[in-house]
Amino acid sequence: MAENGRGLVSPNPMVGAVVVCDNKIIGEGYHIAYGEPHAEVNAIASVKDQNMLQHSTLYVNLEPCSHHGKTPPCADLIIRKKIPRVVIGQQDPYLQVAGRGIGMLKAAGVDVVCGVLEDACRELNKRFICYHTQQRPYIILKWAQSADGFMDKKRIMGDGQLPVIFSDEFSRMRVHKLRAEEDAIMVGTRTALLDNPSLNVRYWSGKNPLRIAIDRQGEIPRKHKLRSTKDNTLIFTENKNMKSAPYVLLDSETNVLEQVLETIYQKKILSLIVEGGSKLLNSFINADLWDEANIEISPICLEDGILAPCIRGKRIMSDTRGKAAFDIYKNRYNTLKKYNY
Taking Cα atoms as reference points, which of 65, 55, 25 lies closest to residue 43? 25
Which one-letter amino acid corresponds to residue 311? I
- What H or E segment, with its residue span, contains residue 330? strand 324-330
Taking Cα atoms as reference points, which of 127, 118, 102 lies closest to residue 10? 127
C-beta neighbour count of 323 within 10 angstroms: 11
Sheet holding 138-145, edge to edge: 247-249, 233-237, 210-214, 184-188, 271-274, 138-145, 292-297, 324-330, 314-321
Q: Are 310 and 284 in contact (CB under 8 A)?
A: no
Q: Are 47 and 28 in contact (CB under 8 A)?
A: no
Which one-letter amino acid corresponds to residue 276? G
Classify residue 223 by burial, with Cβ atoms within 10 Å: 0-12, 13-18, 19+. Answer: exposed
3-class DSSP state of 78: helix
- 40 noted as active-site residue: yes
What are the start-end ranges of the E strands in 39-152?
57-62, 85-90, 111-114, 138-145, 150-152
Q: Are 90 and 118 in contact (CB under 8 A)?
A: yes
Q: Are 29 and 16 in contact (CB under 8 A)?
A: yes
247-249 and 184-188 beta bridge pairing: unpaired
Catalytic: which of 36, 40, 63, 118? 40
- Which DSSP symbol is given to 161? P
Taking Cα atoms as reference points, which of 36, 22, 26, 25 lies closest to residue 14? 36
Task: Report, as residue numbers or ranges, the catalytic residues.
Answer: 40
